Amino acid sequence: MPRVNDGSTGSLFDSSAEAAERATAPLAVRLRPRSLAEVIGQTHLTRDGSPLRKLADTDSPMSVILWGPPGTGKTTLAYVVANVTKRRFVELSAVSAGVKDVRAAIETARGALGMTGEQTVLFIDEVHRFNKAQQDALLPAVENRWVSFIGATTENPSFSVVGPLLSRSLLLTLRPLDDADIRQVVSRALADERGLHGSIKLAAGVTDQLVRLAGGDARRVLTYLEAAALGLPDGGEVTVELLERAVDRAMVRYDRAGDQHYDVISAFIKSMRGSDADAALHYLARMIEAGEDPRFIARRLIVHASEDVGMADPTALQTAVAAAQAVEFVGLPEARLNLAQAVIHIALAPKSNAVAKAINEAGADVRQGLAGPVPKHLRDASYPGAARLGHGKGYMYAHDDPAGIVEQQYAPDSLVGKRYYEPTTHGAEARVSERSERIRAILRGGAEPVAGSAQESGRERPEAPAGSDTEPARGSGRERPEAPAGSDTEPARGSGRERPEAPAGSDTEPAPRSGRERPEAPAGSDTEPARGSGRERPEAPAGSDTEPAPRSGRERPEAPAGSDTEPARGSSRERAEVPAAGSERERAVPRPASGEEPG
């Protein structure tokens, strides 16, 4: 059933019922502010000119959605607006109300507006719990301003409130109360006549503990204070031990602005750096239980992921950022799971401080004045007159190269050859280290190509020895031995190993794209090994014109003069044998001049 406050005095029985209700109401309800001036915190929403202030100071209907963590004053602000403006106030909870209740409240408000001109504030707490149909029922009243709608939610409205309702309302974001605000709430509760009215005192350290336990939630701190004061006689004192028993929470020795704060966070970071996941989890729990801001913890995780893990495990940064987003989206206590996952990931990841060292050294050089002019070919050439100044002239577009890397100077003249990033061999950075060296060799005119680069595709390849037609292996980053003078042997392409030299005077060509050594062919043999095969093949007899099948799609070697033998197409293996004498295939092959049968 909706709770309605129409501002009327009611009967004597109603007054007695309200007095009894106030006497038994929780401390947080009894201390609810009666005007915007009494609201603690949220000054960005209550200052002059703010939408909430305009809603309270004028009679113009307006619809707003209040989004913020629990205990930040969403319900309080709705009550204040209703009290200040003397509007009829109707409160519904999305936990128990349905479409029928919503429509009934709207019809009543519409009738009051038409009959007496009285406006209604329709406050729906936990509006994110309404489904789409229930939220859609609010649209006519909001659009036609039959009610001033105020919705309160702890969930992101972008995901929990339907678009049409969100577009028709102002979204106001409430922030967690800071420590000073919580202290002010405690002081008011001790002194206000609606609260404890000076009936108890707090021992030393109790206020600090309450502030830590509150976590920016005013309702929570008032609940804890009321539980600790329960049963105490007038003039009684709440001690730290009494508070711990009342809330069943041990006091964590942690000062968010003192030595404990810095000592614990230091131990937390050093435990992750030292790969001790268990110790890091202990310090994480210690900070959370003491009321440390989870956003502060998330920020430290993001920094540590790059500072002490870096390229050794690039996914550590992604995990840390995801945990920080989870803190904003979910909040505590559930977000402790996301923080713990990030802590374990970072602690167990391989470590490298190469990223931190690189940017620190680069920054030190800049501060020392090592920042020469930008090379002309790298300067902005987009504006008129840039070409006349030589800007952009000679610049080579890296994407025009097959590998996306070209030999070109990028650093200022004073820093040519300077190395900042020195990868380690830990984790994924080991692969980065190898690629980094090969890229630097290309940028500075070295001979080691990256796979697919211009050097590999035939640009600027090393010269072969005089008199040799040997071609270096394409796609290999290693130097290969020179072929003997006078040899036309071509080394295997795509291989990074040395191959044995072919005999002098031999025109045998080794198998391309093979990584294994092949046996030498007999002198005087024109047998060519099968291309694309990594196996050794048996030698063909001297004088044999048997030719292996070449790979499909390539040029095939010419058959000996006078031979009409055609190798099998599409086969990458050698043929097992020569056809038997007398067969049809054998008759198609002319016999050698010597009259000898092929082996």
> Can you give the CATH number for the domain in which 270 is found?
1.20.272.10
* Six token digits for residue 482: 């020179």
- Per residue in 390-411, pLDDT tens? 888 888 888 988 888 888 888 8
> Are 168 and 189 in the same domain?
no
> Are 115 and 57 in the same domain?
yes
- Lowest mean pLDDT of 254-258, 416-420, 581-585, name the range: 581-585
DSSP-derived secondary structure for 172-230: EE-----HHHHHHHHHHHHH-TTTTTTSEEE-TTHHHHHHHHHTT-HHHHHHHHHHHHT
Which of these three, 443, 462, 495, is where a domain ends? 443
The Cα-based distances of 315 to 299, 302, 358, 431 in angstroms read 16, 11, 19, 15
Percent of the chain scoring above 90 in pLDDT = 23
Higher pLDDT, 385 or 552: 385
> Are 267 and 224 in the same domain?
no
CB 559 within 8 A of CB 535: no
**Residue 509 placed within a domain:** no
- What is the count of structural domains for the chain? 4
Non-local (6+) Cβ contacts of 375 within 8 A are 409, 410, 412, 413
**Residue 450 placed within a domain:** no
pTM above the 0.75 mark? no
Which of these three, 173, 198, 228, is where a domain ends? 173
* Six token digits for residue 291: 């009321």
The CATH number covering residue 417 comes to 1.10.3710.10
Q: What is the pLDDT of residue 56?
A: 78
If we measure between CA atoms, which residue out of 150, 137, 140, 46 comes closest to residue 89? 150
DSSP-derived secondary structure for 244-313: HHHHT-PPP---TTSHHHHHHHHHHHHHHHTT-HHHHHHHHHHHHHTT--HHHHHHHHHHHIIIIIGGGS
> Are 185 and 277 in the same domain?
no
> Are 317 and 430 in the same domain?
no
**Residue 362 placed within a domain:** no
The CATH number covering residue 8 comes to 3.40.50.300
Crossing angle for the helix pair 259-273 and 294-304, to the nearest 10 degrees:
40
The chain-wide mean pLDDT, for the chain, equals: 75
CB 172 within 8 A of CB 52: yes
The CATH number covering residue 236 comes to 1.10.8.60
Tell me the mean pLDDT in the region 166-174.
91
Which of these three, 156, 173, 190, is where a domain ends? 173
> Are 432 and 294 in the same domain?
no
Non-local (6+) Cβ contacts of 222 within 8 A are 26, 27, 28, 31, 185, 189
**Residue 122 placed within a domain:** yes
Give CA–CA dist 525/481, Å, rounded.
Answer: 25
CB 328 within 8 A of CB 176: no
Give CA–CA dist 43/116, Å, rounded.
Answer: 35
**Residue 576 placed within a domain:** no
Higher pLDDT, 520 or 273: 273
pLDDT band at 463 (very low <50, low <70, confident <90, very high): very low
> Are 157 and 198 in the same domain?
no
**Residue 491 placed within a domain:** no
- Lowest mean pLDDT of 75-84, 138-147, 471-480, name the range: 471-480
Q: Is the pLDDT of residue 456 over 60?
A: no
Tell me the mean pLDDT in the region 382-388.
82
Look up tokens 């009215």; give the residue: 197
> Are 127 and 267 in the same domain?
no
Give CA–CA dist 493/33, Å, rounded.
Answer: 83
- Per residue in 340-356, pLDDT tens? 999 999 999 999 999 99
Give CA–CA dist 516/112, Å, rounded.
Answer: 94
Give CA–CA dist 195/569, Å, rounded.
Answer: 98
> Are 202 and 160 in the same domain?
no
> Are 165 and 185 in the same domain?
no
Q: What is the pLDDT of residue 400?
A: 86
> Are 186 and 124 in the same domain?
no
- Per residue in 273-329, pLDDT tens? 999 999 999 999 988 887 788 999 999 999 999 999 999 999 999 999 999 999 988
CB 92 within 8 A of CB 122: yes
**Residue 460 placed within a domain:** no
Non-local (6+) Cβ contacts of 317 within 8 A are 302, 305, 306, 309
**Residue 111 placed within a domain:** yes
Q: What is the pLDDT of residue 257?
A: 53
State how beta strands 3-5 and 88-93 pair.
antiparallel
End-to-end CA distance of the chain: 104
> Are 212 and 310 in the same domain?
no
Domain of residue 201 covers 179-247
- Per residue in 549-594, pLDDT tens? 444 444 444 544 444 444 444 444 444 444 444 444 444 444 444 4
Give CA–CA dist 104/145, Å, rounded.
Answer: 16
If we measure between CA atoms, which residue out of 381, 379, 378 comes closest to residue 409? 378
Look up tokens 């970071």; give the residue: 269
